[in-house]
Amino acid sequence: MNNYIEQPITKTLELNYMPYAMSVIISRAIPEIDGFKPSHRKLLYTMYLMGLLKGNRTKSTNVVGQTMKLNPHGDMAIYETLVRLTRGNDALLTPFIDSKGNFGKQFSRDMAFAASRYTEVKLDKICEEIFKNIDKDTVDFIDNYDGSMKEPVLFPTTFPNILVTNNQGIAVSMASSICSFNLKEVCDVTIKFIKNENIDIKKYLKAPDFSSGGELIYNEKEINNIYQTGRGSFKLRGKYRFDKKNSLIEIYEIPYTTTVEAIIDKIINLVKTNKIKEINDVRNETDKNGLKIAIDIKKSANAELLMHKLYSMTPLSDSFSCNFNVLIDGVPKTMGVKEILTEWLKFRIQCIKRQTAYDLEKKKAKHHLLSGLSKILLDIDKAISIIRDTEEDNMVIPNLIDGFNIDKEQAEYIAEIKLRNLNKEYLLNRVKEREQLEKDMKELKDIYDSEELIKNIICMELKEVSKKHGKPRKTEIIYHEEVKEIEEHELIEDYTAKFFLTKENYFKKVTLVSLRSSGEHKLKDEDVIVQEIEANNKAEIIFFSDKSNVYKIKAYDIPEVKVSNIGHYLPNILGMEEDENILYFVITNDFKGHMLFVFENGKIAKIPLEAYQTKVNRKKLINAYSDKSNLISIKYILEDRDIILIRDNVKAILVNTSLIEEKTTKSSMGISVLVNDKNSKVTYCLENDEFLCESIEYYRITELPVNPNLILDNDKKKNKFLK
C-alpha cells in the first residue's frame, strides 16, 4: 500500500514549485547589473583564478573541469556557455574569451563546435576591465555550493556591460531579452549621462549593434519606446551584393536572430512550391573568410525585386524583441536605458567607494607602522640598546613597546628591520614614504567623501575603455523612410494562366506554356470541365456555391498544375461546408461589372461585383445571393448584353440586362422579368448563340415584367433540348 499525504495544491505550489521558480529567476536565467548570468560569472572567475588573464591559452577541458568547483551543472552545459563567450563563435560584439580552434558559429545551426579537448582558451583583454580591482573588496563574495571556496556575487566591471553583451533568458513566468549595443557608443553615452541626466539618449546611443552585422531598419518611434520602457522590437535584415555579370546574389550578413541554414531551407521550400521562380540554385558557401549564401538567378530576373521577396518571405528579414529585464538586488525589474545606466552608476560608485576604503585602510596600516618607525628615529641608539640588552627573544617586542610608547604592530615592524637598513638613506626614505602616504590618504578620503570625484574616475575609466577596446559599428542603420516599400502585388510574379472548374469541385491553374505542350485534361471518372477562364496570376478568384456562399482566394495562392494532374479539390482549399458544391467562378482585378442571378420564379438579381469586395481579406461571405427561389443560372457580365430566358420550355424572351435594375444588397431577389403563371417556372437562361432561331428580334422585349412569347415551331425543332 502506498503511503501519501494529502495536501492542497496551493500548498504544494508554495512549498515545491515556488522555490524552483525563484531559483530559475534569480540564479539562472536573468542577468544582473554587471551584465552576466551566474553561469557566465562562475566560468570567467574560474579562468581568472587560473591566471588566464595573462600568459598562454590552456585546453578548454581544463577550464571546464576547474569551473565545476563553482558550477556543478555538468561539463557540456559549462562548455556551451564557454563557446558562446569566445571570439571564435561570433555570438558577442565584445567577446570575453580569446580562443583557438573550432568553436562553431552563432550564425550557423549545423556548424558544430569541436570537443573541449581540442580547443584552447584564455581571457580576452577586455576582461581586465571586468575584473579590475576585484581583489580590493569592490564586490561581495559568497561561498560556493559546497563551501570550499569563495566566488564573487557580481563583477566590478568598469563599463555598463549589461548594454554591451546581448542576453536572452527564459525563466518561470518571465523572460529577459537584451540586445547588444556598440561598446564605444555605450561608453560615450554613459559619460554624457553622468554629466547630465537629461540628455537625449538616442543622440549618442544610435541603435543596437550586433556581431552578425546586417542592417537595422531604424524607426524612431520604436527605438524611443525601447529606450524609455525596455520593451519593444525592431527589424533587422541581411546584406547582399549582386554580381550582374554572373547573375549571382551573395548574401554576406544576416540578422542576428536567424541562421544560414534556416534561410536556405526557406528559399528551397519557396522554389519547390513555385512561389519563387527566379532562382536556379542556392548554396551555402560559408568558409574561413566568413558567411556567404550564393544564389544563382535567372538572367531575366530583377535582383532588387527578388531580394525584396526574400526579405518578406524568409528569415533574411527578422525582428528582435526587447525585454530589458534585469535583476536589481535580487529583484527582476524591466527598465529603460536611462534607468539601467542609473542602476549601473549606483553599483559602480559603490564599487569605487569600497575600493577606496580598502586602499585607505591599507595605507593607514602602513602609515601606522611608519609612525612607529619615526618615533625610534629620535633615538635609534636607544632602540638598538633595548634589543641588545634584552635577554629573552619574546621580550624584545614588549620592551620596545614600553621604551617608545608604541603598539605591538609597530614594535613587530621595527624589530623585523634588518641591521643593514639602519642607515641614513633608508630611514630618510621611510620618512618621505610616510609623508607621501599622508597625501595619498587625504586624496583617498576626499574621493570617498565626494561622489563628484568618484564620477570623474568612472568617466576617466570609460574613456580608457572606449579608447582601448572601442570598435566601429557592425550593424548598419537604415532609416525606415529610406527603405523602398514594395507592395505585395509587386512581389507576385505576373503571368497569364488558364483556370478550369470541374463538376466534381476540382480546380486547375495551368500556365499557357504548359497548356500548349500538353495533351488532354486528366479528370476523375465521369467528371467534366464546366467552366474555364484565362486570367493573370495577380487576380482574385470568386467562387459561388450552391449554398449561397461566396469563397474568395488570390490566384497566386493556387499552385500551378499540369494538364495531366486532376487538380486541387476545392473543399480542402476553401474550407467549404459539407455537401456544398461550386457552381460558378469569376476572376477579377478591379471588381468591375455585375453578377446576374436568374431564379426559377422569373426574377433576376443584378448585383455589382464590388459588393463582394471587402476591406479585410475575408475568405468567405455568407448570403451571397438570394435562396428564396431555385437558382437557374449565374452569369458575370462586364457590360450590359442580351440574354434569353425560356419558361416551361415553350415560351421565351430576349432581354437586354440594361433593363434590369441594379440591387446593391447581395441577397436581393432582384426584379420580375417574366410574368409567371402559378405553375410556371423559368427553365433556361441562354446566351444568343446558344439559342437557334430564324429571327432573334421576335423574342425581344423592351419593358419589364412581360408575358413571354411562344417559341415558334421551327425554332423548337432547331433547339433539341426543348423537346
Residues serving a catalytic function are 118
- Give the list of residues 6+ apart from residue 81 with CB closer than 8 angstroms, or none: 39, 40, 43
Q: What is the DSSP string of 229-267?
A: HSEEEEEEE-EEEEETTTTEEEEEE--TTS-HHHHHHHH
Q: Are 548 and 541 a contacting pair, CB within 8 Å? A: no
Q: Are 38 and 29 a contacting pair, CB within 8 Å? A: no
- Give the list of residues 6+ apart from residue 685 with CB closer than 8 angstroms, or none: 598, 632, 633, 635, 643, 644, 645, 646
Strand partners, 98: 122
- Give the list of residues 6+ apart from residue 174 with CB closer than 8 angstroms, or none: 25, 30, 325, 332
Strand partners, 541: 553, 587
Q: Are 186 and 214 a contacting pair, CB within 8 Å? A: no
Q: How far apart are CA 108 and CA 87, in angstroms?
A: 15
Provide the CA 64 distance to its chain's centre, in angstroms. 31
> What does the block give as the cell for 557?
495562392
Give me the phi and psi of 16, to 5 degrees please.
-110, -45
In the block, residue with C-alpha cell 419593358: 703
- Picking from 279, 236, 267, 270, the residue whose alpha carbon sits closest to that of residue 254 is 236
E-strand ranges in 473-539 read 476-479, 496-502, 506-511, 529-536
Q: Are 79 and 62 a contacting pair, CB within 8 Å? A: no
Q: How far apart are CA 641 and CA 663, in angstroms?
A: 17
Q: How far apart are CA 585 and CA 37, in angstroms?
A: 61
Provide the CA 713 distance to its chain's centre, in angstroms. 76
Q: Burial, 205: exposed, middle or buried (Cβ in 10 Å; 0-12, 13-18, 19+)?
A: buried
Q: Burial, 155: exposed, middle or buried (Cβ in 10 Å; 0-12, 13-18, 19+)?
A: buried
Q: Are 639 and 609 a contacting pair, CB within 8 Å? A: no
